[in-house]
Structure 1
């Protein structure tokens, strides 16, 4: 099993990046925030999870072991495959925890492939995961404030209901000025940019 990849980053269409190591490029799928943070040609290390199926081998890359742990725990939930788990990992852990604590299934149904029933079951599973791993959110709480505008779950749900995919939504919200505090303002500004 591969624990981490260190090499030169090649940005590919979202959610993929290539990691060049000694002349071999490893195709790696990453969460949206990781993809955004990467620069073509930079040297970087990704903690990876190797997903093996009958017909393929896939690599999923993360910034920290905790992010990879969340991904692997999500894969253990019935009905959650690697694509949905990767989408869930694009949402900061503190936001996922808040959704679980407040039974906010709407923020989860904004993700393509998650319906109402799956979201309700997922909330229960997320609650137990965050109780089992309290360190996940304590470590990531520091940078959540600065990123909260781009991960406004109500804005994501509103834009998703209009037919936009999560990657487009997150990109639009990330580009918004930090002076926009209300969800309505963020949605209106995001719609103007889409």
Structure 2
């Protein structure tokens, strides 16, 4: 298994990044939060998980080993593959997922595109004894990676498109959550990608 990857970030796209290692560009699928940490032309180090299928080898990259651990754990649930596992981590930080599973929070899990009540209940049932709750309390809006004031729109847009929404829907959702980000900036705080992505998903879920 490829457990980690270190090299220069040469490209960042919707849900993916290319890390050049020894002259070879490796395509890595990442969450919006992980992508927000990367900068083209700068060095990057990611924890990784290689998913092997008959027709493909797909590498997923994470900000740290804990994120990778949760990614691999949720795939043990029937019906949850790597794309859905990545979507779960795109909406919720690892500690938030642990808390949702430990607390039987179906509503939190169904915020993830592709997860309905039945799948959410299955996740809780099958992982309750395997995915331990976080040692410390986690706020409902745990901080993600603080983007620059002018960059949060790109990060949220990338996250939504990576989760399967159209660019047009992403633009509409961003327009509706912009006041939330503006309020954070006015208070002297950086908008948080994870919280804004959740807000955008709530907007899209009622359309």
| TM-score, normalisation: structure 2 | 0.66
Tell me the number of residue pairs that the alignment of Structure 1 and Structure 2 aligns.
169
Who is 2:157 aligned against? none
Who is 1:76 aligned against? 76
Query: Is the contact between residue 14 and residue 35 of structure 1 (CA under 8 Å) also seen in structure 2?
Result: no
**Residues 148/63 of structure 1: CA separation in 2 closer, same or farther (3 Å cut):** closer
Provide the C-alpha distance between the structure 2 equivalents of 1:88 and 1:148, rounded to a whole number of angstroms. 16
CA RMSD for the aligned pairs?
Answer: 3.9
Who is 2:32 aligned against? 32
**Residues 3/87 of structure 1: CA separation in 2 closer, same or farther (3 Å cut):** same
Who is 1:99 aligned against? 100
Provide the C-alpha distance between the structure 1 equivalents of 2:31 and 2:55, rounded to a whole number of angstroms. 23
| TM-score, normalisation: structure 1 | 0.70
Who is 1:21 aligned against? 21
Query: Is the contact between residue 73 and residue 131 of structure 2 (CA under 8 Å) also seen in structure 1?
Result: no
Who is 1:154 aligned against? none
- 1:115-130 matched pairs, under 5 angstroms: 115-130=116-131
Query: Is the contact between residue 105 and residue 119 of structure 1 (CA under 8 Å) also seen in structure 2?
Result: yes
Query: Is the contact between residue 96 and residue 138 of structure 2 (CA under 8 Å) also seen in structure 1?
Result: no
Query: Is the contact between residue 93 and residue 142 of structure 2 (CA under 8 Å) also seen in structure 1?
Result: no
Who is 1:153 aligned against? none
Shift of 1:40: 1.3
Query: Is the contact between residue 4 and residue 47 of structure 2 (CA under 8 Å) also seen in structure 1?
Result: yes
Provide the C-alpha distance between the structure 2 equivalents of 1:62 and 1:140, rounded to a whole number of angstroms. 22
96-105 vs 26-35, greater mean Cα deviation? 96-105
Query: Is the contact between residue 11 and residue 18 of structure 1 (CA under 8 Å) also seen in structure 2?
Result: yes
**Residues 7/141 of structure 1: CA separation in 2 closer, same or farther (3 Å cut):** farther
**Residues 46/139 of structure 1: CA separation in 2 closer, same or farther (3 Å cut):** farther
Who is 2:151 aligned against? none
Query: Is the contact between residue 97 and residue 126 of structure 1 (CA under 8 Å) also seen in structure 2?
Result: no
Shift of 1:99: 2.1
Shift of 1:97: 2.8
